[in-house]
Amino acid sequence: MEKLIITAAITGGASPESNPYLPKTPREQVQAALDAYNAGASVVHIHARNPETGRGQHRAEFFAEAVSGIRAKCDILINVTTGGSGRRVDGDWLYKEIPEESVKGRISVIPQLCKDPATKPDLASFNSGAPLIDIYNRKEKDFILKFVMVHSFPDMVQMGEIMKEHGVKPELECYDVGMIYNALFLKEIGVLEEPLYFQFVLGVLGQIPATLDHLIHMQRCIPNNYPWSVCAVGLSEFPMTTCGMVMGGNVRVGFEDNIYLSRGVPAKSNAELVEKVVRIAKELDREIATPEEARKILHLPPKK
């Protein structure tokens, strides 16, 4: 069994008010990435955040500040988001998209970041479909996010071609089985290059549930030689990542997916979440991959 790649998804699209320990600026992202690296992560997944407001804002300059700062501190692999483009629903109406939050706006950061080796990401998330993303508030009996990610096949072709042109490996975010087949089709027509790298995202409302049966089914839907990883939201994070480790996959943890170390116990840092998954891996005799070893497993070019 290959060594385990641990990805730390340190920020995501959360609001500053939702988690007092969330890294809210590029500078805080740098420290969070370094702490996760020291805890055992070999990949960090980041979203751009405005240093003045601490809120997510998909701008190349905010990515660049975080990426270059992380590169100066350690050799962890850097994965930037291009997902999350979509429309928020208000009643029967769709809000007009903000240009930088559209598919074209979000993928446009890749060419900008790749102009400078210090800010070029190693990987970027690639949503291989159009998932529903929502949270239901049982107390208020209402949906909180009301959000649909919008990724048509032409959108995905454009994203794939841009990543290929700039030497950034897509991490294929699959929230359900159909997205796996979308990615395999894009490979068939030459948009995506082998070996594909899949991230199975489990437990999001409206998408595939976080259960062992569903994880096994998703893994069986991809060719055996393709590397894959699993993440799950909320308290499903550790049961599903443990199953993924036993099955030979890689794992993702972090504040983007889950803010609890255990039931009722908030994690105070992303590093704490990484440390817990490292402890589980050691109990299962899965060795942890270094960033350089992760490069080889993911078929990325050697570090220059």
Query: DSSP characters for 96-138?
Result: PPPGGGSHHHHHTHHHHHTTSTTT--SEEEEE-S--EEB-EET
Dist CA 42 CA 290 (whole Å): 6
**Is 172 in contact with 197 (CB distance < 8 Å)?**
yes
Long-range (24+ apart) CB contacts under 8 A made by 295-302 are: 295/77, 295/122, 297/2, 297/3, 297/5, 297/227, 297/250, 298/5, 298/77, 298/123, 298/169, 298/197, 298/227, 299/169, 299/195, 300/77, 300/122, 300/123, 300/169, 301/167
Dist CA 210 CA 212 (whole Å): 7
The predicted pLDDT at position 157 comes to: 95
Q: Could you tell me which residues come within 8 angstroms of residue 163 by beta carbon, excluding any fewer than 6 positions away?
A: 107, 110, 124, 126, 169, 170
Over residues 116-153, the pLDDT tens digits come to 999 999 999 999 998 777 777 788 788 776 667 778 89
The predicted pLDDT at position 99 comes to: 56
The burial class, CB within 10 Å (0-12 / 13-18 / 19+), for 197 is buried
The predicted pLDDT at position 84 comes to: 65
Q: What are the domain boundaries of the chain?
A: 6-297
Q: Could you tell me which residues come within 8 angstroms of residue 194 by beta carbon, excluding any fewer than 6 positions away?
A: 187, 226
pTM: 0.94
Dist CA 107 CA 100 (whole Å): 9
Q: Check: CATH 3.20.20.70 for 6-297?
A: yes
With both helix axes pointing from N to C terminus, report the angle between 177-188 and 153-165 in degrees, rounded to the nearest 10: 60
Dist CA 167 CA 209 (whole Å): 33
> Over its length of 304 residues, how does the chain's per-residue pLDDT go in tens digits?
899 999 999 998 777 788 999 999 999 999 999 999 999 999 999 999 999 988 888 899 999 999 999 999 999 999 999 976 655 554 444 544 555 566 677 899 999 999 999 999 999 999 999 877 777 778 878 877 666 777 889 999 999 999 999 999 999 999 999 999 999 999 999 999 999 999 999 999 889 999 999 999 999 999 988 999 999 999 999 999 999 999 999 999 999 999 999 999 999 999 999 999 999 999 999 999 999 999 999 999 988 7
The predicted pLDDT at position 86 comes to: 57
Dist CA 268 CA 225 (whole Å): 37
How far is CA 123 from its chain centroid? Answer: 10
The predicted pLDDT at position 91 comes to: 47
The burial class, CB within 10 Å (0-12 / 13-18 / 19+), for 107 is buried
